[in-house]
Amino acid sequence: MRSAILPASAKEGGCVKGGAVGAVAGHFVGRGHAAAGAAAGCAIGVHRRHEAEKRDQQQQQTAQLQAPSH
């Protein structure tokens, strides 16, 4: 479902985007949770970015193998 929404060239956010989302979520949970939310969001963002880059690399390798040779 995600690929139907995002264009093929879209990248995962990484630490900054994940940290910002986590900080906002932690802020709404309660006092003192914004920093913990930011740290957790950063870690998740980095992990997702790494997975997206790995997936993109695999897709490029598959495309190169399937490309007709001249």
Task: Give 32-58 pLDDT, tens digit per residue.
Answer: 899 999 999 999 999 999 999 999 999
Going from the C-alpha of 36 to that of each of 13, 14, 57, 66, the distances in angstroms are: 18, 16, 32, 45
Closest by Cα among 17, 20, 70, 67 to 47: 17
pTM value is: 0.69
Domain chopping of the chain, boundaries: 13-61
| Overall average pLDDT of the 22-37 stretch | 92
- In whole angstroms, give the CA distance from residue 17 to residue 14: 6
Given a contact cutoff of 8 angstroms between Cβ atoms, the answer to whether 5 and 13 are in contact is no
